[in-house]
Amino acid sequence: METALAAAVAAGESVRGTTSPNPPVGAAILDRQGNLVGTGATEPAGGAHAEIVALREAGEKAEGGTAVVTLEPCNHTGLTGPCSQALLAAGIEFVYYCHPDPDPKAQGGADHLRQQGVGVERLDRDVDTLRPWLTAVRRNRPHVTLKFAQTLDGFTAALDGSSKWITGDEARRHVHADRTKRDAVIIGTGTAIADDPSLTARDGALELPNQPRRVVIGGRSLTGHARNLHHLGFEQYRGIPDALWRLWDSGARDVLVEGGAHLASGFMESGTVDAIQAYIAPKLLGQGRSVLTEAVGLTIAEAAEFTLRHVTRLGDDVLLELTRKD
């Protein structure tokens, strides 16, 4: 079972950033003897769900076998048919899943399978890959991760505004790899004008296969500025509510806010920051520019609180990944 679960989780992670508005689900099929005979992951929107991909690979070996899925099998017909029915047709006798489906249109697959005599059990496993999508569906807007790099004493730039580079090469490579897993990368007009960023996911000079949408929030015109964004193409929205609605409506479920401080404060004030990625460098400035431009609270009791999920060492830097405490 652990082998199948690990295979399903890895399959889902491998397609993160390519499946929205659908979730990046992974699935594994075991034959009657418990051998792993099929794995699959969600295809891009309109393509097959993870269970279907895994069943195709398993073929006739799926009959009498077990399915392990990171999300409850769907029970509705959209662009594709219900996965619960496909599992039944393949002769699957046991289904294990990690997360119930929060989408009212798709949920119910577990109950349907039980009613048809299939053994169904929910596993006690939190799948990180699905957390952004699950949060987005519950909140009816994209999941928002606020990302920043800072010194040990909490500054994102020196007093003169310089910030290249606070972190080292390994941390910056991680940032680019992470962009490939996001539906969109968001900055403010101030950052677009001052930095002329590309907002692409790169490995050195080479663009990585999956590129996020480039989004700018703010009312200032970028005419005559942001040459790279004009060359590559970008979307611009006047404010945070409009941007999140338009992104959600066009299929984005997992977005990354990269700056600057005014925009970060705006997202914090709007209460829409679901997660934080803090890249911390072993440097001290003493004075400089902060992550935020406005106070979140006037007392410690009013501070925004987050739960630490992961700590990753990246060369001499450290990445803290946190989620909002509800």
* Closest to 216 in 3D by CA, of 262, 180, 173, 177: 262
* Closest to 54 in 3D by CA, of 21, 101, 100, 97: 97
- Give the catalytic positions in this structure: 51
Give how far the C-alpha of residue 64 lies from the chain's centroid of Cα atoms, to the nearest Å: 34
The reply to whether 165 sits in an annotated binding site is yes
Q: Is the separation of the CB atoms in 245 and 272 below 8 Å? A: no
Look up tokens 């290249």; give the residue.
164
The reply to whether 98 sits in an annotated binding site is no
The reply to whether 266 sits in an annotated binding site is yes
CB within 8 Å of 151: residues ≥ 6 apart: 166, 280, 281, 283, 284, 285, 288
Instruction: Classify residue 196 as exposed, middle or buried by CB count within 10 Å of its CB (0-12, 13-18, 19+).
Output: middle
Q: What are phi and psi of 229, to 5 degrees?
A: -65, -40
The reply to whether 222 sits in an annotated binding site is no
The reply to whether 56 sits in an annotated binding site is no
The reply to whether 199 sits in an annotated binding site is yes
Q: CA 174 to CA 316: how far, in whole Å?
A: 13
The reply to whether 153 sits in an annotated binding site is no
For residue 317, give Cα distances in angstroms to 68, 169, 256, 279, 314.
Answer: 36, 10, 20, 7, 5
Residues making up the binding site for NADP(+): 149, 165, 191, 195, 199, 260-266
Residues making up the binding site for Zn(2+): 49, 74, 83
Residues making up the binding site: 49, 74, 83, 149, 163, 165, 179, 191, 195, 199, 202, 258, 260-266
Residues making up the binding site for substrate: 163, 179, 202, 258
